[in-house]
Amino acid sequence: MSQIQRLKSSYRMSQIVTCGEMIYLAGQVAVPGTSVTEQTKTILAQVDSLLAEAGSDKKHILQAIIWLSSMDDFAEMNAVWDSWVAPGNAPARACGGAALATPDYSVEIIITARKK
């Protein structure tokens, strides 16, 4: 049976959970109130860092779930995403609109990946 490992944990949540070869990242958000472009860039940099800590990288992302506070921001977020995603390694992805934790958050991204 695979061991569950929790990294960057608080009483409420872990930023990274691994089980065997699987990596689950908590929903990532950025500094509230900045532009959708800046929030997306910050979030994707956080994803890169967390995946590296867990022994992986963006080429090994299996699934991305993206929440936008307004679907009007879809093209702006996609412009950043498209320049970041590893060519030939696009994950399964969903994007939807939702009320996020605070009205100043525009983007939240949840990642599932595997180790290298």
86 falls within a domain: yes
Is 17 part of a structural domain of the chain? no
Is 9 contained in some domain?
Answer: no
- With left for phi above 0 and alpha for psi between -120 and 50, is residue 40 left, alpha or beta? alpha
Domain count within the chain: 1
In a domain, 12, yes or no: no
pLDDT in tens, the chain (116 residues): 789 999 999 999 999 999 999 999 999 999 888 999 999 999 999 999 999 999 999 999 999 999 999 999 999 999 999 999 999 999 999 999 999 999 999 999 999 999 99
Residue 14 in any domain: the answer is no
Residue numbers of the domain that contains 65: 26-111
Domain-located, residue 76: yes
Q: Is 18 inside any structural domain?
A: no
Side-chain-side CA neighbours of 83 within 13 Å: the count stands at 9
Q: What is the CATH number of the domain that holds 41?
A: 3.30.1330.40
